[in-house]
Amino acid sequence: MPSIQPPNAKTWFARLAPYRASENWRAVFEVIITLVPFLILWAGMWQLISHGYWWGMIGVIPAGAFIVRLFIIQHDCGHRSLFSSRKANDWLGRFIGLLTLTPYDHWRRQHALHHAASGNLDRRGIGDIITLTVAEYEALGRFGKLRYRLYRNPFVLFGLGPAYVFFIHNRLPLESMKQKMPWVSTSLTNLGVLVLYALMIWAVGLKAFLLIQIPTVIVGASIGVWLFYVQHQFDGTHWARTEDWDRERAALMGSSYYDLPGWLMWVTGNIGIHHVHHLSSRIPFYQLPRTLRDHPELKEIGRLTFWESLKTVKLALWCEERRKLVTFAMRQPAVI
């Protein structure tokens, strides 16, 4: 992996400025070609489910994938990069939040904090996959270690965890008890979801609604959490304490380039070009492929293929001495 020093990372930020232009017509087009197929898939599952449950489930994975793409559009609205209009971004983001079960305004603030502190060991915990250092893990008691190991278990991290976050955690912003905005954002989103779900149940019936909507959301949530995980938890990622932390370097070196096949890049809204996104979050997702075409050297920074990404599941702790993520088994240095 090339060694990118902080001044060079800052230079990249300036070089990426031409790609930060929003194209409103393109944004509308991207919304249409994402929302319409999702609705068609949902309606198709409703029709097929009358012939048997498993017939209806044929569309769950594709529909879940389109939920992910809708979330990426909402994500760009949060960065106010999808449209040139701030109001257009915010209102579309709030609407999509009803489909993704995500309170837009609250999430947007949390995600901004994630970008502001990404790769900073002293500012972990907001919008992140919880990651302990080796020293922090060793200082835990038996129960604390067991709880952390359970949290980092793939079945929990990519299965139970995403379902909990989207169905339960996003309904109650308990981490922001004393703040007004998170509760207003969450309450209004919950009300909108309640109205939307009531209309859908009235239209298709409770049983069909539950059999289609719950697995679709779970699939989308699991894919989304997996993408977020591999974009920051990979061999070669960059973390540093505040005194050694640099925003641009942390963005470029601490986020992966998830080199997926073209059709998967499309479905996931190019979010795999995550190092560029973190370096310049105002670049709309539909402009990200251009940055790689015009600057192919960016493809060599933090590159991670799908098969390589599977190996990241075992990484669980940050070793400050070795400056890398390690597995539980690797936390002790080898005895020579």
Tens of pLDDT, residues 299-308: 989 999 999 9
Beta bridge partners of 305: 259
Beta bridge partners of 304: 258
In the predicted structure, residue 334 carries a pLDDT above the cut 90 = no
Beta bridge partners of 319: 324
Contact indicator for 46, 282 with CB cutoff of 8 Å:
no
Q: Mean pLDDT across the stretch 155-160?
A: 94
User: How far is residue 29 CA from its own chain's centroid?
Assistant: 22
pLDDT at residue 50 in the model: 82
Residue 333 banded pLDDT, cuts 50, 70, 90:
low
Residue keyed to tokens 């599977």: 310
In the predicted structure, residue 5 carries a pLDDT above the cut 60 = no
pLDDT in tens, 243-284: 999 888 888 888 999 999 999 999 999 999 999 999 999 999
pLDDT at residue 249 in the model: 86
Residue 6 banded pLDDT, cuts 50, 70, 90:
very low
Report how far apart, in Å, the C-alpha atoms of 230 and of each of 129, 279, 303, 307, 314 are.
Answer: 10, 17, 11, 12, 11
Q: Mean pLDDT across the stretch 16-31?
A: 95
pLDDT at residue 3 in the model: 44
DSSP class of residue 335?
A: P
User: How far is residue 240 CA from its own chain's centroid?
Assistant: 22
pLDDT in tens, 57-81: 889 999 999 999 999 999 999 999 9
Residue 7 banded pLDDT, cuts 50, 70, 90:
very low
The CA radius of gyration of the chain, in Å to the nearest whole number, is 20
For residues 335 and 21, the model is more confident at: 21
Six token digits for residue 111 = 């995600």
Percent of the chain with pLDDT over 90: 79
pLDDT in tens, 204-254: 999 999 999 999 999 999 999 999 999 999 998 999 999 999 888 888 888
Beta strand segments in 28-182, E:
132-133
